[in-house]
Amino acid sequence: MIMFLMGIYLSTPKTEKASEDGENDKLRFGLSSMQGWRASMEDAHAAHPYLDESTSYFGVYDGHGGKAVSKFCAKYLHQQVLKSEAYLAGDLGTSLQKSFLRMDEMMRGQRGWRELAVLGDKIEKLSGMLEGFIWSPRSSEANDRVNDWAFEEGPHSDFTGPNSGSTACVAVIRGNKLVVANAGDSRCVLSRKGQAHNLSKDHKPELEAEKDRILKAGGFIQVGRVNGSLNLARAIGDMEFKQNKYLPVEKQIVTADPDITSVELCDDDEFLVIACDGIWDCMSSQQLVDFIHQQLKTENKLSAVCEKVFDRCLAPAAGGEGCDNMTMILIQFKKPSNSPDASSVTNQPQSSAQPSEADRSSETIESK
């Protein structure tokens, strides 16, 4: 394919979709991803209906500057959640928050450099590629032992982490408890009686809380972008914006510190959507909820519903909305046999329920 517009877009979109379906006793899910008009695919995702015997984990990671960081999160973030002390103590929110921040720590140094080099599609951006691959004392089995993520001496021991980055929007479900952690502008939306409830906030630089942190940390906002380049205020990676040694991680120009939202699920809850901004640029939360309800009347395969969303959003020509990578996970809650069908629709106006403006919010949507 011939690339144009400075190499950002393809001459024709790649509309092949990678899709998956699965379930457990409480829910079923479908997911799909599509490269679209973009010159490369930088999204990643994770779907673990059995993170353990009582917990499910779903995450969407939208990379920028390459796919290495999003792939890193898809590989390691859920493992860190599962093995954290807070998780073992039953504190899902704290385990998610610490695991988001742990990603930045793990991507530093020799071992982080090597892992990113293997996962990334733009390895040449990380200096000394050949030297790093030659110096590789650890086996692949050792690389999979997350708890043994020890510092390694080597050519890239002083590597401070990648200048590429990724959003992370994660939902963890245990029993009737849903906990959402978000950093960036991927979004999680709950459909309750046909009404869209945003369970995450798009971390754009112009938001007052984000702008305040950016300016206090020595950054600036230009044309809606952090330091004139990044159109996100929170992300994993992007270490060039996290170099102030006098500030904690949550107060850096860009931070991986997530908002945390907790919800008690009820019988009125039909499904949950996690998707990257390639979807939300084209549809509002309520528009997507309405579209899904309409599709579920005739389509039982959830990944097929995701694919139809992509077809609905894909731009007819390169440039503007509908040209980004697209990734979406649709999670439908199973109903007891005596409950109404999960795909029934109750038309209501769009919810204004949003997490608070605090750096880390926690809210419960009241059952109606």
Cβ–Cβ < 8 Å for 172, 199: no
Stretch 169-174: mean pLDDT = 98
Strand partners, 168: 183
Which H or E element spans position 260? strand 259-264
Query: Of the candidates 124, 123, 133, which has an alpha carbon nearest to the alpha carbon of residue 154?
Result: 133
What is the DSSP-derived secondary structure letter of residue 118? H
Residue 367: pLDDT band (50, 70, 90) is very low
Going from the N-terminus, what domains does the chain have, and what CATH number goes with each?
A: 3-66+163-333 (3.60.40.10)
At 27-52, the pLDDT tens digits run: 999 999 999 999 999 999 999 999 99
Instruction: Kindly provide the b/e burial profile for residues 173-185, where b requires at least 16 CB atoms within 10 angstroms of the residue's own CB.
Output: bbeebbbbbbbbb
Q: Specify the residue for token string 């499910």.
A: 56
Q: What percent of the chain has pLDDT over 90?
A: 77
> Sheet of 326-333: strands edge to edge?
3-4, 9-23, 27-38, 326-333, 269-275, 187-192, 195-198
Q: Is the pLDDT of residue 344 over 90?
A: no
Q: Is the pLDDT of residue 156 over 70?
A: yes
At 265-310, the pLDDT tens digits run: 999 999 999 999 999 999 999 999 999 999 999 999 999 999 999 9
Cβ–Cβ < 8 Å for 52, 24: no
